[in-house]
Amino acid sequence: METQFEMYAARRDTHPMFRHIYPTAMQTEMCISKGNAVPVTVRICSPIHQTPDYWGWLDLEDENDRSVDMIFPSRMQLAMCFLGEQPLKEAVSAGRGVPVGLEVFDGHNLELSEPVASFDDVVALAKELHKHQKDLAGKPYTGHLEAVHDNLGPEATETERMAAWLHDTIEDCSIDDGAKGKRPLVREDLRALGVPRDVVEIVELLTRKSSWVAPSWFSAEAIRTHREKMYLEKIQGIIDSGNISAMKVKLADNRHNSCAERNSQLTKPSDIRRIERLQQRYHKSIDMLTSAIRTLEAGKNPSL
């Protein structure tokens, strides 16, 4: 099953994330009249992706009018329309319809045949997004991205190579939103630029979700301890995801961040002290990721 149709999605304030998709003409017109909707192209995903943009109900009762409605950001919300998961399953068994995953494209009349970004496109995109950024040594930040890519080695997949170049984009980059000015880049922006879904999933896994502000009464040592704990919990989350490609990209990132040659180029005493403090967490992370990758690879190939 694979089909494509047009709907409208409401924007949330100045943020580009889709909050609602409107399945009927009346809802669409109401939303358009208020000026808070943009046209999008929606595709039913089959087989369903692990993380579809939305969930909807494909009505099968009327063969002449098979439409998708009751569209929600999660399967749980869809099930609530049926008063629970079990009634939803009963509706499926009765042939009334089937839940489907929906992939949303940001753009009017976007064809399914539109090319996905190539590796060279991704490198160019990363360089553009990071073009004004410098590392602690004052060198272009894109040098770090290239080093992470190179650390993956010749056996890396194209997905991993793309993710290496983009791994800091959601966390550190912004884009121009026209008259509204700059805003943080989000996953939908990468998808709209043609970045493959599996690459975006890796970038999301590697992105720090929020910055922690230490209470005023915390000592310097307590702050360092808590931040290290948060960092290692983040690494454990990457491992728990089971996404071995994300683990490999993060491992390559850690290795460059702990590279003695790179860190020897620092000149400010405060930067040198900061990097020295971070080395312990980087080395712990490297050990955790290396062990997890070996375990997964041994499971795939018992002879290892």
Fold topology of 119-300: Hypothetical protein af1432 (1.10.3210)
Report the mean per-residue pLDDT for the chain.
76
When pLDDT is cut at 50, 70 and 90, the band that residue 255 belongs to is very high
11-15 average pLDDT score: 38
Which amino acid does the sequence have at 224? Answer: R
Higher pLDDT residue, 72 or 172?
172
Is the confidence at residue 245, as pLDDT, over 60?
Answer: yes
> Of 272 and 90, which is predicted with more confidence?
90
Place 181 in a pLDDT band, splitting at 50, 70 and 90: confident
- pLDDT for residue 244 is more than 80: yes
Torsion, Cα of 104, 109, 111, 116 (10° steps): -60
| 3-class secondary structure, 255 | helix
Q: What is the pLDDT averaged over residues 146-164?
A: 96
Report yes or no: 58 and 25 within 8 Å, Cβ to Cβ: no
Closest CA to 273 of 220, 208, 198, 218: 220
Q: Is residue 101 a contact partner of residue 52, using CB atoms and an 8 Å limit?
A: yes
pLDDT digits (tens, 9 = 90+) for 54-67: 777 777 776 665 56
Look at 121-135, 173-187, 192-206, 229-243 and tell me which has the smallest mean pLDDT. 173-187
Asked if the model's pLDDT at residue 86 lies above 80, the reply is yes
Which secondary structure element, helix H or strand E, spans residue 33, and what is its range?
Answer: helix 25-33
Q: Which of 187, 205, 119 is closest to 156 using CA atoms? A: 119
So what's the pLDDT on residue 46? 52
> In this model, does residue 12 exceed pLDDT 50?
no
Residue range 178-205: mean pLDDT, rounded: 83
Domains of the chain, residue spans: 4-105, 119-300
Q: Is the pLDDT of residue 291 over 90?
A: yes
Query: Within a 10 A sphere around the Cβ of 98, how many other Cβ atoms?
Result: 16
Tell me what pLDDT residue 161 has: 97
Total Cβ atoms within 10 A of residue 303? 4
What per-residue confidence (pLDDT) applies to 26? 56
